[in-house]
């Protein structure tokens, strides 16, 4: 057997909770240059963590994510203009207290990164970006906002970011704050006292396909560990568990949420990735728009399809995909067993003609071509929120 | 979990229990722990000729694929096909019920170069230190 953990490299970056993860006995991996927990045997491991999030609640340290704040310069209008130029969604539609999914694009219409844009104030935006693309993103934002009257701040190291995720996340998070979290809608946020800390950003966002909150607390180690401990205490009655990047990946894959370097990259455009609903072509010019217009007119040559394995075998990242005729037609971008569905699922770029639900495709797994089928996505959709409990009626 | 004294161990974390010229082969507790929840096993057919140091199958967890390297040359007499439906047994009983294959080995002297339990435990203790450095 080959060892699955890479040897420790001393230059790996660490979140303020690194020591705590190690005390908990987490298995650590190098994720994009960060020393991060992949799973916690003390939580029962990846599958148990995944199920905790689907059925109750789990907590993730996602402090490796980066944060860029863009504020107005001397005159009003500069911040919104800069964000509109950088990001494909329409930031002018955001109310203060609202967030949305978006992406920063290269002039070719491919991805610099995907981002969550939060509108903190009239002229004040917070972009949450990926860990592996932090430096590149910050350079990109600085370069491409030079001609705008705005102030760009890299706040990536200022926050410890915790994601409390799952159907009971609201119950856990509500115990920690005076803000009324039940009134915060999906992809909205609020500020409130959290664990005695003032003015903490609490957003109803996440990367699991489940309800949940992400909280941004000061990044000193003591505060970070204290908040983590309080989250665990608040969640005890709901059997909360610490969750690692392993479960984060299977959860987001089931929900068909893109991962940079997999479903989206500098080689893949917005239409191919199926993210057109977050791209507002009518809002005016932005970086990548011209190329996207051209790509739209030219039509798709590949599209992201969801696969379910029919034969025994697990499709993994970078495995080749073949048509029934035996022609190599695409590549798996993400593939894994799905703990929720009990099936082996994958995402792959294939020609549109082979992306129809029900199409048979073959995935090359080591030396064998294993049968798979195109299925509807997302693979998993969370059940609609149950109606507020009504006055009990006897039947 | 204890490492049986009568077994021999490889650097790639397989164990071998040699009885006469039949070697039962599995993966160690250390290996299953490194992998995490095992969800898939691919084993060779009866009659498959194993080559020392060459892969004869795979064990997969949710996040990783691990090749299983044959510690000895020989012929597969039996594969533990029950594991295909209960791969999680590799996590719970790696040194016993979750054996992978029984190999009739060509040269029983081949296992003399492998580690005994004490040497293997020292080997993985060293790896543990490396990982937490």
Predicted complex ipTM: 0.89
How close, in Å, is residue B20 to chain A by CA atoms?
25
| Average pLDDT over every residue of A356-364 | 98
The answer to whether residue B2 sits within a structural domain is: no
Distance CA B128, CA B133 (A): 9
B66 Cβ under 8 Å from any chain A Cβ: yes
B93 Cβ under 8 Å from any chain A Cβ: no
Distance CA B95, CA A247 (A): 27
Residue B131 has a pLDDT of 54
Going from the C-alpha of A92 to that of each of A52, A120, A121, the distances in angstroms are 37, 12, 12
| Average pLDDT over every residue of A202-226 | 98
The answer to whether residue B86 sits within a structural domain is: yes
Instruction: Enter the CATH code of domain A18-64+158-253.
Output: 3.30.1360.120
Select the residue of A1, A5, A45 nearest B13 (Cβ to Cβ).
A1
| Domain harbouring B101, CATH code | 2.40.50.100
B78 Cβ under 8 Å from any chain A Cβ: no
Would you tell me which CATH number, out of the four given (3.30.70.20, 3.50.50.60, 3.30.70.1400, 1.10.1370.10), belongs to the domain A66-154? 3.30.70.1400
**A337·B12 Cβ contact <8 A:** no
Average pLDDT, chain A: 95
**A2·B14 Cβ contact <8 A:** no
**B109 against A166, higher pLDDT:** A166
**Predicted confidence (pLDDT) per residue in A139-177, tens digit:** 999 999 999 999 999 999 999 999 999 999 999 999 999
Chain centroid to Cα A12, Å, comes to: 22
| Average pLDDT over every residue of A295-317 | 97
Look up residue A220 and give its DSSP letter.
-
Longest dimension (CA), chain B: 44
**B65·A312 Cβ contact <8 A:** no
Residue A158 has a pLDDT of 97
CB B25 within 8 A of CB B16: yes
Q: Which of the four pLDDT bands, split at 50, 70 and 90, describes residue A384?
A: confident
Residue B45 has a pLDDT of 96
Select the residue of A1, A4, A10 nearest B68 (Cβ to Cβ).
A1
Residue A392 has a pLDDT of 42
What residue of B is the nearest CA neighbor of A315?
Answer: B65
How close, in Å, is residue A75 to chain B by CA atoms?
50
What residue of A is the nearest CA neighbor of B64?
Answer: A4
Residue B126 has a pLDDT of 86
**Predicted confidence (pLDDT) per residue in A323-357, tens digit:** 999 999 999 999 999 999 999 999 999 999 999 99
Half-sphere exposure of A393 (CA within 13 A, CB side): 2
Spell out where A9-110 has E strands. Answer: 27-31, 34-39, 58-61, 66-72, 99-105
Q: What domain count does chain B have?
A: 1
Task: For residue A378, say if its preceding peptide bond is cis, omega within 30 degrees of 0.
Answer: yes
What residue of A is the nearest CA neighbor of B59?
Answer: A1
CB A304 within 8 A of CB A349: yes
Q: Where in chain A is the domain with CATH 3.30.70.1400?
A: 66-154
**Predicted confidence (pLDDT) per residue in A65-99, tens digit:** 999 999 999 988 999 999 999 999 999 999 999 99
Q: Where in chain A is the domain with CATH 2.40.30.110?
A: 257-375
B19 DSSP β-pair partners: B22
Q: Where in chain A is the domain with CATH 3.30.1360.120?
A: 18-64+158-253
How close, in Å, is residue B19 to chain A by CA atoms?
22
Domain range spanning residue B25?
9-106
What residue of B is the nearest CA neighbor of A38?
Answer: B63
The answer to whether residue B4 sits within a structural domain is: no
pLDDT for B58 beyond 50: yes
What homologous superfamily does CATH list for A257-375? Answer: Aminomethyltransferase beta-barrel domains (2.40.30.110)
Residue A393 has a pLDDT of 41
**A27·B36 Cβ contact <8 A:** yes
Element (H, E) at A48: helix A46-55
How close, in Å, is residue B41 to chain A by CA atoms?
9
Residue A237 neighbours by CB under 8 Å, 6+ apart: none
Residue A391 has a pLDDT of 43
Task: Using the structure block, give the residue that is written with the tokens 């007119």.
Answer: A297
Copy the structure tokens of residue A298.
């030219």
Handedness of CA A17, A19, A24, A30 (dihedral sign): positive
| Average pLDDT over every residue of B73-77 | 97
The answer to whether residue B99 sits within a structural domain is: yes
**Predicted confidence (pLDDT) per residue in A237-277, tens digit:** 999 999 999 999 999 999 999 999 999 999 999 999 999 99
């Amino acid at each position: 057997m080959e060892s699955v953990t890479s040897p420790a490299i001393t230059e790996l970056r660490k979140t303020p909770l690194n020591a705590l993860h190690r005390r908990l006995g987490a298995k650590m991996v190098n994720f994009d240059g960060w020393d991060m927990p992949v799973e916690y045997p003390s939580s029962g491991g990846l599958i148990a963590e995944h199920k905790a999030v689907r059925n109750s609640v789990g907590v993730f340290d996602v402090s490796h994510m980066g944060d860029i704040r863009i504020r107005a310069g001397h005159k009003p209008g500069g911040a919104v203009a800069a964000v509109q130029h950088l990001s494909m969604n329409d930031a002018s539609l955001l109310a203060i207290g609202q967030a949305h999914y978006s992406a920063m694009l290269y002039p070719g219409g491919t991805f610099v990164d995907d981002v969550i844009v939060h509108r903190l104030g009239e002229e004040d935006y917070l972009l949450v970006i990926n860990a592996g693309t932090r430096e590149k993103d910050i350079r990109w934002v600085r370069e491409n906002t030079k001609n705008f009257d705005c102030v760009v701040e890299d706040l990536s190291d200022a926050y410890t970011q915790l994601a409390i995720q799952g159907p009971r996340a609201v119950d856990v998070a509500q115990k920690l704050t005076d803000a009324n979290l039940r009134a915060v809608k999906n992809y909205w946020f609020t500020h409130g006292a959290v664990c005695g800390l003032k003015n903490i950003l609490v957003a109803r966002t996440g990367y699991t396909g489940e309800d949940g909150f992400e909280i941004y607390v000061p990044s000193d180690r003591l505060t970070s560990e204290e908040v983590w401990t309080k989250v665990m205490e608040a969640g005890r009655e709901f059997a909360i568990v610490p969750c690692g990047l392993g479960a984060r990946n299977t959860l987001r894959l089931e929900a068909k949420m893109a991962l940079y370097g997999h479903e989206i990259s500098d080689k893949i455009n917005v239409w191919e990735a199926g993210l057109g609903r977050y791209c507002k072509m009518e809002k005016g010019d932005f970086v990548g728009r011209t190329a996207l217009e051209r790509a739209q007119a030219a039509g798709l040559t590949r599209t992201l399809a969801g696969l379910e394995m029919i034969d025994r075998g697990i499709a993994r990242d970078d495995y080749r995909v073949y048509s029934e005729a035996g022609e190599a037609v695409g590549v798996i971008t993400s593939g894994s067993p799905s703990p929720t569905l009990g099936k082996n699922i994958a995402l792959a770029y294939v020609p549109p003609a082979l992306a129809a639900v029900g199409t048979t495709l073959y995935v090359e797994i080591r030396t064998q071509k294993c049968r798979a089928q195109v299925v509807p996505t997302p693979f998993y959709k969370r059940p609609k929120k149950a109606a507020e409990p009504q006055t009990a009626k006897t039947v | 979990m204890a490492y049986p004294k009568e077994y021999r161990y490889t650097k790639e974390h397989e164990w071998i229990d040699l009885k006469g010229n039949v070697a039962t082969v599995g993966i160690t507790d250390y290996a299953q722990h490194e992998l995490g929840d095992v969800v898939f096993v691919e084993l060779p057919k009866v009659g498959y000729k194993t080559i020392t140091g060459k892969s004869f199958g795979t064990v997969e967890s949710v996040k990783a694929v691990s090749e299983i390297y044959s510690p000895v040359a020989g012929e597969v007499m039996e594969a533990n096909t029950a594991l295909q439906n209960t791969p999680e047994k590799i996590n719970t009983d790696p040194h016993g019920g979750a054996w992978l294959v029984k190999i009739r080995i060509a040269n029983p002297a081949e296992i003399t170069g492998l580690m005994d339990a004490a040497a293997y435990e020292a080997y993985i203790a060293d790896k543990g230190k490396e990982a937490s450095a």
